[in-house]
Chain A
Amino acid sequence: MTSSSVVRPSAAAVAADGRVPWRSRLTRADVKLAPYFFIAPFFVLFAIFGAFPLVYTGWVSLHDWHLIGEHTFVGFGNYTALFADPDFWNALRNTVGIFILATVPQLLMALAIANLLNRKIRARTFFRMGVLIPNVTSVAAVGIVFGQLFARDVGLVNYVITRLGLDAVDWQANTWSSWIAIAVMVDWRWTGYNTLILLGAMQAIPKDLFESASLDGAKPWQQFWRITVPLLRPTLVFTVVISTIGGLQLFTEPVIFGNGRMLGGTLGQFQTVTMYMYENAFQRFQYGYGAAIAWALFGLIVIFSLINLLLVRRAAR
């Protein structure tokens, strides 16, 4: 708005003597370029730390590239090999499986907790801050503690299970048990984060909607599903997309769960795509192949985010 009032005199000046005065040119440049300067820091940093590695990784993925040796151009050879690689599909299945096992309960729990925290309860701020504590804990510490909880012989979880008269579970040995253990770690860390985001959005919902709903005889449960959830839709989309991006890159939790090894269990039952990428690039030194996995993962994240976006939009309509 201010810009138009600044520009207008210079336009008049152009009309008056047919050439643009130096000062007004500067003003116009200022008006036109200044916004780009203001947003430049992000884009410059992104170009260096985001776009460049991305493009470079793409370039590496077209080569048979030994990490500390030679490299030769192989075109899309790494990708054709990748799509025929059963270990890649195994890693992908694990990643998606753990992602679903972790994200669905996580977001439902976050929604429920946010709803509770949105009420008038004692020590509200304390609890609201409290839910974020797991998120600011070092992920390595989380992994170590949970690794101990889920240990076969000395773990607390198995201690409780055997006390209840059930058989101890070898958490690392089975696919289902390892997925659950990892999903619990992920949820412990990320539920609070999503809770706060949803809580923030809940507080933005006008109170009079609930008041009039109460007057019409709507029960709290109905109010939650008919008013709160639909109005949270954009925020839900955001949390789902963020969880997708995080979930498909799952790395630290399964690595620490597997004693720091990239194998993900004896049969690769909890090896995720990022672990498989690391294994190839930095342990087998097949940097080109690792780069191809990174790009495949990128494509998957885009696809999954779009699918989630559509699903959530439809479900919340």
Chain B
Amino acid sequence: MSQTKRFLAVTVAAVTALGMVGACSKNTEGTTPAADGKITLVVDTFGDFGYKALAAQYQTEHPNVKVELRNVQKLDDYKPKLVQYLAAGSGAGDIVALEEGVLNEFKTQPQNFVNLLDHGAAELQPNFLPWKWDLGRVSADGPLIGLGTDVGGLAVCYRKDLFAKAKLPTDRDAVSKLWPDWNGFISTGKKFTAANTGAKGFVDSVTTSFSAMLSQAGDTNFYDRDNKLIADSNPVVKDSWNTSMKMISEGVSAKIPTWSKDWEAGFKNGSFAVTMCPSWMLGIIKGNSGEANAGKWDVAAVPGGGGNWGGSWLAVPTQSKHPKEAYELAKFLTSPTGQVAAFKEAGPLPTAPKALDDPAFLALTNDYFSNAPVGKIFGDGAKTLKPLVLGPKHQAVKERAFEPALQAVEQGKLTPDKAWEQALSSAVKEAK
């Protein structure tokens, strides 16, 4: 008797526990009905899109609309939440920000988003760089689910004080000349390492360089144009991999994984002298380095020419009760003037040709980064960017197959050959 009772107790406890595992919180808030004749439009973003001033302006221009900004700091926290809202059929904002990788994954399930062409979005096409516009579409002639907000133009951020210690030039033009290509970058890194500055390495880790190299390909990465996985046969992937391996074997990498505690602290401690910086990374570098290091960082050109890393779109979920009004707001936020205003507030690089040509934008400098002319550095690169074909699971293949494999080589856990095999087999799994 006591046996069965105990068995029951264990079972009930285990069942309860599983219930906790299985249950996921579903948020029922969302579009609020019109109580005072006003409609509320909720805008979900991650990081900082720089929409505070724009939202206030929109509300004064449209007295019947109340704009509510909801922000989640980390994309990693934002994405699962959004997915749950979509799965539950309620809870998502009337406008949701979709990062490049997220957008591509959601394209396989386009029924979750409003086709913005139905609301007359076709007229907005000249507002965007052509490839940015195309990426917002599910297919070449498919529905348009996203309006571009920003692009991730590439540059390199470097520590002037550490460069001076290693007797390397510190002027940003001279630094850019050190590395016309990745081999120049590696040989500079070797010089830096030989100088024994006390840093753990030249560049934080090879994963960011790997991403930069892929983004410079200007054609295909892991997928071909028919969304077929070609990670094993595309020379772009193999070349980027080999260059990354060379960086590790030449001792150029500080082997500090991006976003780790060591990485965050490394900015303050000067653990590395160089990191890849897409425009959205400037704020992160500033935050991690702190005021004490103001003026020590500067911005130079990226080895091997410009590339695009990251950038986002605004989409309207089909579950929104006010798709028409939401579209109007998205149109306002992504307009050329909206993009410049957002850049001034938070730094996402505009994707509107008009905004990129704006003299006010080109004249912008960043005082934390030694007054680097960021408007010019990033703006010049942005217009020459070549469109990149990203497949549905590009982000997953990069972040969950290739980056861990690269890090395993840095950790000395795998040989380059074994790591390459592992990356490819994980890629197949991620792409399923």
Point out residues on A near B: beta carbons under 8 Å. Answer: 46, 49-51, 53-54, 56-57, 66-69, 87, 147-148, 151-155, 170, 172-174, 237, 241-242, 245, 249, 259-261, 263, 265-267, 274, 277, 282-285, 287, 291, 294-295, 297-298, 301-302, 305-306, 309
Count A-B contacts at CB 8 Å: 136
**Is the CB–CB distance between A54 and B22 below 8 Å?**
yes
Most A CB atoms within 10 A — which of B18, B22, B407, B430?
B22
Least CB distance, B364 to chain A, in whole angstroms = 32
Contacts of B11 in A (CB 8 A): 302
Partner of B414, one of A261, A263, A267: A267
Q: Using A170-B411, A283-B80 as known contacts, say yes or no to A297 and B21 having CB atoms under 8 A apart.
A: yes
Q: Check if B13 sits within 8 Å of A242, measured CB to CB.
A: yes
Cβ contacts under 8 Å, B174 to chain A: none
Name the contact of B109 in the complex, choosing from A46, A68, A245, A306 (C-beta under 8 A): A68
Q: How far is the CA of A242 from the CA of B17 in the complex (A)?
A: 10
Compute how far the CA of A287 lies from the CA of B429 in the bound complex, rounded to whole angstroms.
Answer: 15
**Are A267 and B413 in touch, CB under 8 angstroms?**
yes
Chain B residues with CB below 8 A from A242, complex form = 13
Interface pair A51/B83, CB less than 8 Å apart: no
Which partner residue on chain A sits nearest B268 by CB separation? A154
5 nearest A-B residue pairs (beta carbon):
A50-B19, A57-B22, A266-B408, A173-B411, A53-B22
Q: Which residues of B contact A267 (CB under 8 A)?
A: 404, 408, 413-414, 422
- B371 touches A (CB below 8 Å): no
The minimal Cβ–Cβ distance linking A170 to chain B, given in whole angstroms, is: 6
**Contact status of A154 and B269, CB under 8 A, knowing A56-B22, A259-B260:** yes
Contacts of B200 in A (CB 8 A): 153
The digit string for B3-38, where 1 denotes a CB below 8 A from any CB of A, is 000110111011111111111000000000000000
- The reply to whether A266 and B14 form a contact with Cβ atoms under 8 Å apart is no
Minimum CB distance partner of A300 in chain B: B14
Known: A170-B411, A173-B411, A267-B404. A291 touches B13 (CB 8 A): no
Q: A151-B262, A309-B6 are in contact. Are A302 and B22 (CB under 8 A)?
A: no
Which residues of the partner chain A approach B407 to less than 8 Å between Cβ atoms?
A: 266
When the two chains form their complex, are residues B266 and A283 in contact, meaning their CB atoms are under 8 A apart? no
Does B76 touch A at the CB level, under 8 Å? yes
Interface residue B112 (Cβ < 8 Å from any Cβ of A): yes
Measured between C-beta atoms, what is the minimum distance from A68 to chain B in Å?
A: 4
Task: Tell me whether B87 is interfacial, beta carbon within 8 Å.
Answer: yes
CA distance A172 to B412 in the complex (A): 12
CB contacts under 8 Å to A, within B81-125, are 83-84, 86-87, 105-106, 108-109, 111-112
Complex contacts, B400 vs chain A, CB 8 Å: 263, 283
Indicate if the CB atoms of B14 and A245 lie closer than 8 Å.
Answer: yes
